């Protein structure tokens, strides 16, 4: 089963920047507790979707930021 990519380069870069931002905020102790947990889970999801260039929510809503789609 091959997954059709639905994320463009800009979308992937924005997500990776957000992942880095959450990591920096966490390691500098700016965020902690429940907020850190929620943002951490979201960051992991963003990281995975960026690496595979596929977002399941985009499929549900018929969205594609990939210009080649």
Residues whose CB falls within 8 Å of the CB of residue 30, separated by 6 or more in sequence, listed in order:
none
pLDDT of residue 69: 52
pLDDT of residue 4: 87
Residue 33: which region, alpha, beta or left (left: phi > 0; alpha: psi -120 to 50)? left
pTM: 0.87
pLDDT of residue 67: 84
pLDDT tops 90 at residue 2:
no
């Amino acid at each position: 089963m091959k997954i059709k990519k639905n994320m463009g380069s800009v979308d992937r870069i924005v997500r990776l920047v957000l992942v880095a931002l959450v990591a920096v905020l966490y390691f500098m102790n700016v965020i902690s507790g429940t907020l850190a947990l929620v943002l951490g889970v979201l960051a992991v999801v963003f990281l995975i979707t960026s690496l595979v260039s596929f977002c399941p929510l985009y499929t549900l809503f018929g969205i594609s930021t990939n210009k080649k789609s």
